A and B are shown apart, each in its own frame.
Chain A
């Protein structure tokens, strides 16, 4: 039943492309509600992207080709990642291309290109943002890898769809180790996607920005692609989280019926709604950390992940 697998694959990438800006819009809306502000419309990120695509791009005088290529590379990496992550079904023809560890590498590629592009023009803010991004990235990556190692230890595979399927079909039991790594993953997600304790996505304040500082020199279609890629990254991380910690509801098995595939779409939507509300809540109740406290924040994530791994090895649960 390979045709259905291909349908799943195409549907999944399309869902990622369409739902990523919506997810960001939903988080912004929830956050505005929680802060007693009037919320922007749900489709606001789409409008922003459309507006940017209609504008003419302006390039800095000293921009090298790397600066122009970077948005396409970053966007491409995120679409590839979306194709590998099992968000709707676990039988993906494309998933053999990259296992979970290569997926982390894919994210790293996007990060390196973004940082290089930010340094390329030679403005102070660009290189400041790039350095900070690399600091956060190099601390977040080991924690993310540890999370993935634990999941692959439990499921005996490093392929993300296989892990997700293994976790979805096991008998229900208390896994303290998974709870620890779940906490670690949440911290990594917040740090990697420039959410509030580490970076504030809604501000352009010079002293605190990380992600926005790297995008300052971009305009028009390049900026649109970068913002879409950032939304896709958040969506991808959320889907990795679902695959590892809430794997139920996606179409599993060798020959899933089309009905389960169709049913998995609203289930994914519900999960995203809940995740967005939780993220907005976290961002509302926590204050932004000083940049020098970020290593501590990520050390905690690493600690949680390693503790999960150790507890799993010792207690077997």
Chain B
């Protein structure tokens, strides 16, 4: 139990904190706080990557740690904050389920994710394989965050948090994806963010709100 080395203990702590930040995001009503939590998640992810890079001596992990800090902890939150200010959407409407129920569903999802990750973890050879379950849980919780929100803004935050989970999963299963794929994904996320930013303005122009249930009907009349 406590015969783990200090860096592994630290990595486990970061993994646990990542899970906690996902839950914090799930329980938030304010979009601004969600974005701040996303930034913290980026910081945690960056720290975990840095620690893993130091532990394994993989030089490309240093690059992805720097990318995580720059992109996920600083740039994207800044971009989102700017969008929020310009669109004036500080609050989400009440989530579709009440918060306490969402949390309980989240707990069930975590149990499911841990069960799901068990066989993968048994096959993996990395020393961080036990946190694969946490990565799967973060992905599924981000899904839940997206499902329970109505506003486009909070759904995008959920989407970015999902990407964080996937990144963490790749890291703990195989010490990170090949450099070229990581760069590609980072670029994709960046471009997606920029395009979505433009989308927000279009959606608001059409419907006067960012509530996505306006998009559910295909026809004009109703």
Q: Do A and B come from one complex?
A: yes
Q: Answer yes or no: B2 CB below 8 A from chain A CBs.
A: yes
Main secondary structure of the interface of B (DSSP, over half): helix
**Chain B interface size, under 10 / 10 to 19 / 20 to 34 / 35 or more:** 20 to 34
A303-B130 contact given A173-B9, A314-B114, CB 8 Å threshold: no
Q: Which residues of B contact A (CB under 8 A)?
A: 1-2, 4, 6, 9-10, 12-13, 15-17, 19-20, 23, 27, 99-100, 103-104, 106-107, 110-111, 114, 130-131, 133-134
Q: Is A260 an interface residue (CB 8 A)?
A: no
User: Which residues of A have CB within 8 Å of B16?
Assistant: 176-177, 179-180, 307, 311, 315
A176-B13, A296-B99 in contact; A315/B131 too (CB < 8 A)?
yes
* Contact assessment for B9 and A317 in the assembled complex, using a CB-CB cutoff below 8 Å: yes
**Nearest Cβ distance between residue B1 and chain A, in whole angstroms?**
6
In the complex, the answer to whether A314 meets B134 with C-beta atoms within 8 Å is yes
A170 to B2 alpha-carbon distance, docked (Å) = 8
Can you list 7 A-B pairs, Cβ within 8 angstroms, ordered by A?
A295-B100, A296-B100, A299-B103, A307-B20, A307-B110, A311-B16, A316-B1
Given A299-B100, A307-B19, decide whether A314 and B107 contact each other with a Cβ distance below 8 A: no
Structural contact, A300 and B103, CB atoms closer than 8 A = yes
Note all chain B residues with C-beta closer than 8 A to A180.
Answer: 16, 20
Q: Chain B residues with Cβ under 8 A from A303's Cβ?
A: 23, 103, 106-107
Chain B's closest residue to A139 (CB) is B100
A sample of 10 more A-B contacts (CB under 8 A), given A176-B16, A311-B134, A315-B16, is: A173-B1, A299-B99, A299-B104, A303-B23, A303-B107, A306-B107, A307-B110, A310-B107, A314-B130, A317-B4
Interface size on A, residues (CB 8 A): 24
Is the CB–CB distance between B10 and A174 below 8 Å?
A: yes
Pairs of residues from A and B, 10 with the lowest C-beta to C-beta distance, nearest first: A176-B16, A173-B2, A299-B100, A174-B9, A315-B12, A176-B13, A311-B16, A171-B2, A303-B103, A314-B133
- Which B residues lie within 8 Å of A285 (CB)? none
Given the interface pairs A296-B100, A300-B103, A315-B130, the reply to whether A174 lies near B110 with Cβ below 8 Å is no
In whole angstroms, what is the CA distance A300 to B102 when docked? 11
Known: A311-B19, A314-B133, A317-B2. A176 touches B12 (CB 8 A): yes
Which of chain A's residues have a CB closer than 8 A to the CB of B2? 170-173, 317
Cβ of A316: which chain B residues have Cβ within 8 Å of it?
1, 4, 130
User: Which residue of chain B has the shortest Cβ distance to A295 in the bound complex?
Assistant: B100
